[in-house]
Structure 1
């Protein structure tokens, strides 16, 4: 009888781990598929993390592997106040906010898109990848289709910046 209980428990545990892995941060990080050949240079960057969010830390690790420059992390008392301060529309919000010298980057944006933003230097406040899509840098799971990165700034809240 104990063998049957162990087998059942093992199956239940395996199913639970599989479900949790598919739903987000607990799953393996997919950052390797988003790495770039040459790190980009930023003067300074500050990432504001949501409390108790492990994917924010994973995204910061991904950034440290793909940028040169000073990156600091903080967990503010009120993450919504930070998003409001930087003008991030509610429908474009994610779990963390990255502030570069001239731009704000919301969510799990691949560093190749940050590099594009810095190279092009468009007249916008920043870019956003809303929510926490599976398969993005710092998130577990598989990427499902293309990802739309939006421009942030004044009337541009729904303007597509790029697609990856």
Structure 2
């Protein structure tokens, strides 16, 4: 006759684990959703969106006119001196230009009281602006505060 004791011990351990809140397997984290507005003819904008996808973001890219893109930037508090070629929104923040995915992840983790991040212009070597010869130029990622002022968030 087989003893039921080992089965009872295993069942007790499983139930104890469940009662303690230990999941049988961890659910995967949801990809952060980011909405991108860009020109349909801008290849670097699509490369930046691809960079975000490769780094775990759920990207929804929308082609739009330059006039509409300028209105989106203005409504978000991004003035001409802070502007670049595309604008994105994620979890209440505006992301302007070729901001690296890791900087966006840091922004979402730290949650500063700000409009968002910007990389003004289109610096060589930034995500989406990679060059075949590997040429890069240093650039800053700026934190845009709610009063319109900025501070350096990251340097690359």
Q: TM-score scaled to structure 1, two decimals?
A: 0.68
* Contact map agreement 2:77 2:148 (CA 8 A) in 1: no
Q: What does residue 26 of structure 2 align with? A: none
In 2, Cα distance between the equivalents of 1:135 and 1:47?
20
Larger Rg: 2
TM-aligned CA deviation for residue 161 of structure 1: 2.1
Query: Greater RCO between the two (CA within 8 Å, min separation 6)?
Result: 1
How far apart are the structure 1 equivalents of 2:102 and 2:110? Answer: 12
Aligned match for 2:150, one of 125, 139, 158: 158
Counterparts of 1:62-141 in structure 2 under 5 Å? 62-68=51-57, 70-77=58-65, 78-141=68-131
> 2:7 — aligned with what?
none
Which has a greater percent of helix? Answer: 1
Match 2:49 to one of 47, 54, 60: 60
Partner of 1:144: 137
Asked whether the equivalents of residues 50 and 96 of structure 1 are also in contact (C-alpha less than 8 Å), the reply is yes
- Alpha-carbon separation, structure 2, partners of 1:94 and 1:67: 23
Alignment partners' CA distance in 2, 1:103 and 1:67 = 17
Question: Which TM-score applies when normalising by structure 2?
Answer: 0.72
| Contact 2:96 2:120 (8 Å CA) reproduced | yes
Coordinate RMSD, CA, aligned:
1.9
Conserved? CA contact 1:40–1:67, under 8 Å: no
